Amino acid sequence: MEIKDRSYRILHFPLSQILLGIIICCGIVAIGQVSVIQLLKLTALDKDAKTLINGIVAALLIVGSYVLWFRFYEKRAISELSLTGMSGWLIAGVALGVVLQSLTIGVIYLAGGFRVIAVNSLLFAIPSLAGAFVAAVFEEIIVRGIIFRLLEKRWGSYVALLLSALIFGAMHLANPNSSLIAALGLAIQAGLLLGSAYIYSRSLWFPIAIHFAWNFTETGIFGASVSGNAVGKALLTTKIDGADWLTGGKFGPEGSIQATLFCLAATVVLLLLSYRQNKLIPAATRSNLFYGDKKDQ
């Protein structure tokens, strides 16, 4: 009985839950992506259409695997992906993401470092649309849905926010043109902002929408690099010049000082609202460690 009880506790410890969740969700997406890629090779669709379809399938797979796994594993309704109120959080998130990225670019423009060379067809934005969509859904499910949520369960909102932000920044260290400073900037701006968005809304749709709008506005609209990845095609063909601290250099505008300051300001507002509305979760005591699962005897 003692061995069984110990095994249960190990299996349901937050770090074990995180590893299992990531392995299962990423595994299902990887298998599905291989199948989809092979099927798309049999079609006459162009590259952009295939990219968009592939992205939609990847997003459906990561959401579906998350919902099915944690509904089974935690024996609960997956309220963080509820369709109730989804449209409101998506609209709010897109609006916030667009505003924050536009303010970031606006500072570069006012400093004389942003110039529009050409306005292209809307079709030019499709690859960026697909890329931003996949990155937002996948990273928010993994980082906020699995890592942050399960850390928060055990160690509370503040510790989970800090740790998940650092993990998010570290995930981008391997990106092209990245650096320790760039990764730290992402941890501060995006890691803290998106975690705070989840705390305030308790819905993954809100951080997903912010993440998507930020990336798509940056690369698909303004034609700038995103997280070190050079832009291919965009609605606007632009030229960005200036000091790295102002423009983000080759890493893109999100590596700029103003991006960090704007996102940090939004983070503070969301955390203050969360505090006033008692949405911040304290660290778990030993008796409620398993969130209503098997209690200490």
Report pLDDT digits (tens) over 48-97.
Answer: 788 888 888 999 999 999 999 999 988 999 999 999 999 999 999 999 99
Report pLDDT digits (tens) over 178-228.
Answer: 888 888 889 999 999 999 999 999 999 999 999 999 999 999 999 998 887
Report pLDDT digits (tens) over 101-140.
Answer: 999 999 999 999 999 999 998 888 888 888 899 999 999 9
In contact, 154 and 14? CB cutoff 8 Å:
yes
Mean of per-residue pLDDT scores for the chain: 88
pLDDT grade for 291, boundaries at 50, 70 and 90: very low
> Using CA atoms, how far apart are residues 115 and 99, in angstroms rounded to an integer?
19
The whole-number pLDDT of residue 161 equals 97
Report pLDDT digits (tens) over 210-221.
Answer: 999 999 999 999
> Using CA atoms, how far apart are residues 252 and 239, in angstroms rounded to an integer?
12
Lowest pLDDT segment from 41-55, 129-143, 152-166: 41-55
Dihedral-angle region of residue 115 (phi above 0 means left; psi in -120 to 50 means alpha; beta otherwise): beta
Please give, one letter per residue, the 3-state secondary structure of the chain: CHHHHHHHHHHCCHHHHHHHHHHHHHHHHHHHHHHHHHHHCCCCCCHHHHHHHHHHHHHHHHHHHHHHHHHHHHCCCCHHHCCCCHHHHHHHHHHHHHHHHHHHHHHHHHCCCEEEEEECCHHHHHHHHHHHHHHHHHHHHHHHHHHHHHHHHHHHHHHHHHHHHHHHHHHCCCCCCCCHHHHHHHHHHHHHHHHHHHHHHCCCHHHHHHHHHHHHHHHHHCCCCECCECCCCCCEEEEECCCHHHHCHHHCHHHCHHHHHHHHHHHHHHHHHHHHCCCCCCCCCHHHCCCCCCCCC
Lowest pLDDT segment from 4-18, 53-67, 282-296: 282-296
Contacts 24+ apart (CB under 8 A), 15-21: 15/150, 17/73, 17/146, 17/150, 18/146, 18/147, 18/150, 18/151, 20/73, 21/66, 21/69, 21/70, 21/73, 21/146, 21/150
Q: Which residue has the higher pLDDT, 33 or 100?
A: 100
Mean pLDDT computed over 233-258? 90
The whole-number pLDDT of residue 11 equals 62
Q: Which residue has the higher pLDDT, 3 or 221?
A: 221
Q: Is the pLDDT of residue 294 over 70?
A: no
Task: Tokens 């998350």: give the residue.
Answer: 66
* 42 φ, ψ (degrees, to nearest 5): -85, -5
Q: Is the pLDDT of residue 290 over 60?
A: no
